[in-house]
Structure 1
Amino acid sequence: MFELFRSMMKEEWRMHSAFFGDRGFALFPAVIAAASMLLSLSMIIFWRIISQTDVLLGIHYLLLFMGSMVGGFGLLGREVMNRRFGQASLLAYSSRTLPISERTIFANFIVKDVIYYFFLYVLPFTVGFVAGAIIIDMHYSFFLLLLTLFFSFCIGLSFVFLLSTIYANLGKKALFLLLLIPVLFLIFFQGLEFDVFYRLPSFVLYTEPSLKVLITCIVLVLVPSIISLIFLKVDYPQSQKHYRNRFSEISDKLDFYGYSHFMTKDYLDFSRSEGGAGKIVFSFLVPVLLVWLFLPQLLKAVPGLDTLVVFTVVVGMMASSMYNWLVEFDMFSSYSFLPLTVADVLRSKLNSYSLLNVFPFLVVVAATIYAGRLIDIVHIILLFVAVSMYVVSVTVYLTGLNTTFSLYNAGTFASYVLAIGPVVMGMIFLAQLHFHLVLLSVLLIPVSLFVLKRSFVKWD
């Protein structure tokens, strides 16, 4: 078993280093460390309005949120072990021929991924945060903080892993159940005090270390993961799947777009791939609902920030993840025999992206209505559109059609953070000065169009 795990670790390294070189991939954690150090150093400015305890609470929930974004392993079971990813055929794909059970292979795959996330995100984040704290004369227990942040990440991951496994087994029947859960949470959280958030087990383990809390954290990670592995759905189709030819029908409906045929292809690829609508649920809607549930309470630690503005900015940034879905397994070589340029393919993906933005748009509108701020709907929609356009334009400029892998390059990721971070933080703090200043976000739209124009030239 260890030989399989070791081979998977090597495979992951070679897959990424083949894109960026060993140095480019190895320096990625250094960028994460630098970003978390800046976060820690910023405390010298904000320590009067936010305590060290609240900062620790915030970063534990941040890691919980990150874990939830990568926890959709239940949808990946068939994808990883039943098909090839682009030009790469993963070791897990050989599960058909290896004399090892699918669960064993997939368990190794998950442990490998968790370890990579630990070294790529959790460890460098902790190192940078603690180093920055030492510089401004604040002190944290490094190893205890590393352990509790890792638990936060794994709790978020295991929870969404379980939900995605339920969906993989029950299919569309489970969508109602999965969408009902956040509604119940929303009702439940209405009557809770802010102090409840201080009871996150991983955070409690840092503030009040005890064997009982340690066991609780381990149970919250292992039990959902073990249940998910037991009910892992990996089926090998014995016959070909057949679909009705809907290409002309759909492209006619999308004829008002300049690239309707390409958008139809994107839709058919997306709907027929493993997971289908589950990808929207687990990589976008579940994290967004978690943000909506936790953000109003967590922002009580930072008085003055407009919760709806922060939520809209976060949703605008997260919406760009849908561009990743569109280009994840699509390579330009698939189009190279057609009279097309890379810019044509990018434009078609952006058209598909604009159509998919209906989902986050509706989320933002629903949040505005729920917050009783219908009078501010124009400001909020403009902010969402501007942030979404800007973030995706930067993504296209830096990564082109290779978003999934390219952001693991240290230089590319650093450029991504520096291009987006100051802008979105600026929007949030402008709203803090005066709400109507969010209208300045309209300036991001011509900037985004200029960046996209430069992107087309660059990638051609």
Structure 2
Amino acid sequence: MFELFNSMMKEEWRMHSSFFGNRGFALFPVVIVAISMLLSLSMMIFGRIISQADVLLGLHYLLLFMGSMVGGFGLLGREVMNRRFSQASLLAYSSRTLPISERFIFSNFIVKDVIYYFFLYVLPFTAGFVAGAFIIDIHYSFLILLMTLFLSFCTGLSLVFLLSTVYANLGKKALFLIFVVSIVLLVLFQGTGPEKLYVLPPLAMYIAPSVDLLIICLGLVLVPSIISIIFLKVDYPQFQKHYRNRFKGIAARLGFYGYSHFVAKEYLDLSRSEGGVGKIVFSFLVPVALIWLFLPQLLKLVPGLDILVVFAVVVGMMASSMYNWLVEFDMFSSYAFLPLTVPDILRSKLNSYSLLNVIPLAIIIITTVYTGRLFDIVHIVLLFVAVSMYMVSVTVYLTGLNTSISLYNAGTFAGYVLAIGPVVLGMIFLAQLNFHFVIASVILIPVALFVLKRSFVKWGKWEV
């Protein structure tokens, strides 16, 4: 059965390389190497306030968060196995005609994705970081660090995979369970010191390698994943689904809004697609909850940083992922029959994105009130709005309507990092000097509007 896995690996390569060539896709890991090398070289500046133990802590939790952001496979099961996936029809879509089980096919799909993440992200990130550290005479064990970072990534992925599978089987009832679990975790971590974070098994294994810790790490990855695959939910509809016409009603209620018909379509697409609101929960809310859970302890290791400022910046960055949802599963070929241009579609997506931003905005407001900093709410909200607008403007300018695919192009991703990194770090640095300097983030709003204007000109030359 290795033939299926091999074919899926080739399919993934061809799907990406067809957009920007073999070289553009192959050079993507090189960009990751360069970024992580610069990160480790920055230790020449920050090494006096951050210990090597703290650096290892940050690396492992960074990979844990990355894994959690891509672990919603439980919701993708029916999307991948039972229908066209975006503009492409993957091998997994042939599950009804292949003489093998859906679980076996989807297991191959997941393993294929994990391997690609390993070679595209984890391996080059580790290699670049270790190489940069070696230049400044800091030595890490490359193979052990590679293994523990990969285990950390897979731990976050497998746990969210399990949660998303529970949601796929129980539906909205699972949201209550996840909410209860979140409250319990917040209570357990309330008041704990940063030393508790070092019990993360992959990190503990790097510090003190042992067979017992390796077994625990593998168990955290394999057990949730196996349970998720066993309870994988793949429905093959035996009848057509019928929905009453809600489009006219929704569009009418939004009649005051210039893009009411587009927004109504986006809402119906999201609510009727597999997972529905689960996409928001597992692609955004769960990672945000994890960040809020661990961020206070992580920032105790870096004195002077304002936790609320960092949280607002991170949530603003993550909010831009909602633009990806709006363009990833839309069939743009259907727009070709309408008197629309690419800028028209981009504006419609941006309007829907603005409405979806009510969710992270509410999180920012609740968090500000919860931390007892109501007097700082104007600064924090302004910072979030500015970062979110700037992030999505850069995303639109660089990727247009093909966000998920285009960012795997080495040049595009390098431009994305160079446009985002200095701005984000600059906002955090200004707040460290003086909290009221955060108000300078207002500059990002006209910059974002200018970038969007240039985006419409750039993508106006393309056809849907």
The two structures have a TM-score, normalised by structure 1, of 0.99
CA contact (8 A) 1:331 1:401 kept: no
Q: Residue type of the partner of 2:94?
A: S
Q: Residue type of the partner of 2:171?
A: G
Task: State how 1:141-160 maps to structure 2 within 5 Å.
Answer: 141-160=141-160
CA contact (8 A) 2:84 2:93 kept: yes
Q: Distance in 2 between matches of 1:87 and 1:252?
A: 30
Match of 1:126 in 2: 126
- Please state how far the C-alpha of 1:134 moved relative to its aligned partner: 0.5
- Please state how far the C-alpha of 1:331 moved relative to its aligned partner: 4.5
Match of 1:342 in 2: 342
Task: State how 1:326-341 maps to structure 2 within 5 Å.
Answer: 326-341=326-341
Match of 1:60 in 2: 60
Match of 1:429 in 2: 429
Match of 1:45 in 2: 45
1:87-112: CA deviation from partner (whole Å, max 9, x where unpaired): 31100011101110111000000000
What SS does the corresponding residue of 1:335 show, helix, strand or coil? helix
What SS does the corresponding residue of 1:49 show, helix, strand or coil? coil
Match of 2:200 in 1: 200
Q: Distance in 2 between matches of 1:220 and 1:206?
A: 16
What SS does the corresponding residue of 1:401 show, helix, strand or coil? coil
1:129-186: CA deviation from partner (whole Å, max 9, x where unpaired): 0000011000000000000000000000000000000000000111111122111111
Match of 1:404 in 2: 404
**Aligned CA-pair RMSD:** 0.7
Q: Distance in 1 between matches of 2:374 and 2:191?
A: 24
Q: Distance in 1 between matches of 2:241 and 2:66?
A: 35
- Alignment partner of 1:391 is 2:391: yes
CA contact (8 A) 1:332 1:342 kept: no
Match of 2:300 in 1: 300
Q: Distance in 2 between matches of 1:295 and 1:193?
A: 11
Match of 2:171 in 1: 171
1:247-292: CA deviation from partner (whole Å, max 9, x where unpaired): 1111112223211101111111111100000000000000000000
**Bigger shift: residues 431-440 or 339-348:** 339-348
CA contact (8 A) 2:31 2:414 kept: yes
Match of 2:420 in 1: 420
Q: Residue type of the partner of 1:377?
A: I
Q: Residue type of the partner of 2:357?
A: N
- Alignment partner of 1:136 is 2:136: yes
- Please state how far the C-alpha of 1:192 moved relative to its aligned partner: 2.0
Cα 1:332/1:80, change in 2 over 3 Å: closer
- Please state how far the C-alpha of 1:314 moved relative to its aligned partner: 0.2
Q: Distance in 2 between matches of 1:340 and 1:304?
A: 50
Q: Distance in 2 between matches of 1:428 and 1:253?
A: 40
Match of 2:360 in 1: 360
Q: Residue type of the partner of 1:344?
A: D
Match of 1:213 in 2: 213
Q: Distance in 1 between matches of 2:16 and 2:5?
A: 17
Q: Residue type of the partner of 1:74?
A: G
- Alignment partner of 1:249 is 2:230: no
Q: Residue type of the partner of 2:420?
A: I
Q: Distance in 2 between matches of 1:9 and 1:138?
A: 36
- Between the aligned residues of both structures, percent identity stands at 79
What SS does the corresponding residue of 1:301 show, helix, strand or coil? coil
1:179-232: CA deviation from partner (whole Å, max 9, x where unpaired): 221111111101422211011000000000001101100000000000001101
1:46-93: CA deviation from partner (whole Å, max 9, x where unpaired): 011000110011010000000000000000110000001233110001
The two structures have a TM-score, normalised by structure 2, of 0.98
Q: Distance in 1 between matches of 2:136 and 2:256?
A: 57
What SS does the corresponding residue of 1:132 show, helix, strand or coil? helix
CA contact (8 A) 1:323 1:353 kept: yes
Match of 2:4 in 1: 4
- Please state how far the C-alpha of 1:431 moved relative to its aligned partner: 0.1
What SS does the corresponding residue of 2:300 show, helix, strand or coil? helix
Q: For structure 1, which runs of at least 5 residues remain unmatched after alignment?
A: none
**Bigger shift: residues 373-382 or 86-95:** 86-95
Q: Distance in 2 between matches of 1:243 and 1:179?
A: 30
- Please state how far the C-alpha of 1:339 moved relative to its aligned partner: 1.4
- Please state how far the C-alpha of 1:25 moved relative to its aligned partner: 0.4
What SS does the corresponding residue of 2:92 show, helix, strand or coil? helix
Q: Residue type of the partner of 2:130?
A: V
Q: Distance in 2 between matches of 1:53 and 1:256?
A: 56
Q: Distance in 1 between matches of 2:12 and 2:254?
A: 39
Q: Distance in 2 between matches of 1:342 and 1:216?
A: 50
Q: Residue type of the partner of 2:274?
A: E
Q: Residue type of the partner of 1:286?
A: V
1:232-257: CA deviation from partner (whole Å, max 9, x where unpaired): 10110100111110011111122232
Q: Distance in 2 between matches of 1:54 and 1:255?
A: 53
Q: Distance in 2 between matches of 1:412 and 1:179?
A: 37
Q: Residue type of the partner of 1:338?
A: L
Q: Distance in 2 between matches of 1:32 and 1:5?
A: 26
CA contact (8 A) 2:87 2:331 kept: no
Match of 2:73 in 1: 73
1:323-371: CA deviation from partner (whole Å, max 9, x where unpaired): 0000002244321221111111100100000000000000101110111
CA contact (8 A) 1:257 1:351 kept: no
What SS does the corresponding residue of 1:245 show, helix, strand or coil? coil
1:355-404: CA deviation from partner (whole Å, max 9, x where unpaired): 00000000101110111101100000000000000000000000000001
Q: Residue type of the partner of 2:294?
A: F
Match of 1:278 in 2: 278
Match of 1:19 in 2: 19
Q: Distance in 2 between matches of 1:298 and 1:141?
A: 23
